[in-house]
Amino acid sequence: MTPKKLTCVLFIFCFTLFCFSSHSIADDSNSDSTESIQLPEVMIAAPTPELIDSVAELPGTLTVPNNAEATRIIQRTPGGVYVIGAKRFKDRFSINYQDTLSHVPGVYATKRFAEEVRISIRGSGLERNFHQKGLTALQDGIPFTSADGAGDFQEIDNLVLQRIEIHKGGNAMQFGGTTLGGAVNMISKTGRSHPGHRLRFDFGSNDTFRGNYQTGQAFEKADLFLSLSGAVSNGFREHANQENLKFNSNVGVKLGDQAESRFYFTVNEIDLDLPGTVTLKNALKDPQGVRSSALEDDQQRDIRSYRFSNKTTIELSEDHKVDVGVFAYKKELFHPITRFVGVIDQESINYGFYSQASGTYKIGRFLNRYRAGITTQFGDTEAKVFRNNGGRSGSLTRDADQFGTNIVVYGENHFHIIPKLAIVTGLQYLHADRDVDDNVTPSDTDDADYDTANPKVGIMFKPLEKTQIFANISRSYEPPDFTDLTQGSTAGFIQLDAQKAWTAEVGTRGEYGRIAWDISLYRAWIEDELLKFTVDGNIPSTTFNADDTIHQGAEIGIGIDIFRGLFTEKDTLKWWNAYTYSDFFLDDDDQFGDNTIPGQPPHFYNTELRYDYGDKWFFALNALVASDAEVDFNNSFEAPGYAIMGMSAGFKINDHADVFFEGRNLTNEAYISNFSTAVTATDSSALFYAGDLRRFFGGVRINF
């Protein structure tokens, strides 16, 4: 069946499912019952430094609900979810996703250099030492990554976001997520949520500067948001310079009282020099040092991307709505890396559509919520490789056309059997294609197809007004991407199976007095996990399927409102903690036995103590602590743990201007922020990225 025919069939299936749900609603509308059994809607504060302030009320629209409403919806999920309000990262120099995500329990986000960050949730994409894998990335609910599942988070400008939603593991199934790690949904500001004009200037160590202008305008039947950011930095390490220009815009148009359509358009120009990996000794002795081959080959990653999308929301009634949308984006990648690989030169076009229906209805006296939808992604990439002549393209060595397809049909249902207990069931179907046409060696043309069904079942129990207890079990399924299948070349496919896992999770979130918490315990039984090891710093990583592996751990977030109104009526002191315990290991492997899977420290702790003098000024101390981490599959070499300290402060000058200041790694500790993995690592293995030493940043924001 061709992708077009399959898409038509799946769309008809999704539409039929929605019509069936609507028919059930109509049938129940004449019920004699006047009282429905439902779970009380009480929003629980996430344990962030700002507690409930993280979901402060902002004007929402049909297409983009405000932060508070989004949090209420997300907290119906019987599992690990999290909402990060923009207040978390607006008072700091948040240039990458370590700055915005590393404080979330269960999320391991650490910088390699500049805006390049490795993000792993519950060990997802743990093998990936470049780009991003193992997570479903969305922007405003619209697919953000490529059709084969790979992506680059540095294409997002954090300054245009009003919140980030984290749906861990199978809790992303309700949005079509199929991966072990779940989904990250990045929600943009609108002309209604952020009206007016804003200027922002950031500056700091290593000749770092960023400027941003954004404006929001609200009209009677429309709203407009525009943002333009430009940033330059010499980077902490040698040959880690970066320059970028990011334009974001969206326009919302009311199509009546019950419908709204929003159009998004973004442009990115990102130039990034790559310093490469070095040995452990060199990383700790000379953290600013660079790998010699990175200089000789002028390794870099330059991206040009253009993204257009549309989201239309229609309220069919007070309790039911439909979202439909389309998206398309073009990406150009110029990527000189090692002389062994060459210059990767790609031009890709990805496009697709999605639709989702959601709502509530009564079955007798019982409340039922549903969500059902379809997401399609199609990608076409011209993948060429040239010889690397000092960062310039030489003769053509490889030339292939890559075609990727990813189609997910999903549904999730919440049935409230008693006022305090809901049963959640879900099911999704995934179809994926990976095809390559080799233009140099036609005999190396190859293809692979993947199909699966993923079920989910869970419960949500509310014993107290502001306490939830949840549990779920779900299945995930991740086909390999083109990087996995081609192993750094464009000639044929390596024989790889999709990664499959069953994950069980229990947890609780809630508030009691001055304490808020969010705690999850999970265990995943994985088959054919996609893992990587580095042969040499100049040779691409090799992907393989492990037999059986286990990922298990604890995700603990606790926020404490220590006091309010001690010196003034509105001053506060809050202490926030996020601890992630990760235990990932092979299960009776023929070669490695029960060894720990390398790539992530078992203990990862982030904490902040913040004092706010009302809305006038604030001062905060923070710390990031990581334990030793296995580097190789033989568990013979470790990356040392670290503890780095920081501070931040801000002052409101008047109603139109404020300033902030931030210091990082105040003790100037040399440490390893990230690393690649190997079968057996030694002192001569160039696998390590040095963390930044002491750095300072500041900024000013002007509203008018």
- Dihedral in degrees, nearest 10, Cα atoms 149, 152, 156, 162: 50
Check residue 418 and give left, alpha or beta (phi > 0: left; psi -120 to 50: alpha).
beta
Are 403 and 377 in contact by the 8 Å Cβ rule? The answer is no
Query: What is the predicted pLDDT for the residue at 364?
Result: 86
Alpha carbon distance 183, 426 (integer Å): 16
Length of the chain: 704
- What is the pLDDT at residue 537? 52
Question: What are the per-10-residue average pLDDT scores of the chain (704 residues)?
Answer: 43 39 38 41 54 58 90 88 87 87 89 86 80 85 88 88 93 86 94 96 96 96 97 94 96 95 97 94 96 93 96 94 96 92 94 95 91 96 94 93 95 92 95 94 90 96 93 95 76 86 96 94 96 67 88 96 88 95 96 95 96 94 97 96 97 95 97 93 95 96 94
Task: Report how far Cα 55 is from the mean position of its chain's Cα atoms.
Answer: 19
Q: What angle do CA 71, 74, 79 make, to 5 degrees?
A: 130
The CA-atom distances, in angstroms, between 235 and each of 100, 156, 558 are: 19, 19, 34
User: Which tens digit of pLDDT belongs to each residue from 453-463?
Assistant: 999 999 999 99
What's the CA gap between 600 and 593, in Å, rounded? 19
Q: Which pLDDT score, from 0 to 100, does residue 45 have?
A: 58
Structure tokens at 334: 């110029």
pLDDT of residue 656: 94
- Contact by Cβ (8 Å): 650, 641: no
In which element (H, E) is residue 90 found? helix 87-90
Residue 193 parent element (H or E): none
Write out the CATH class of domain 3-703: mainly beta
Give me the pLDDT at residue 680, please.
93
- Residue 176 confidence (pLDDT): 80
What distances in angstroms separate CA 332 from CA 186, 209, 346, 381, 384, one per listed residue? 22, 25, 6, 10, 12
Provide the pLDDT for residue 6.
41
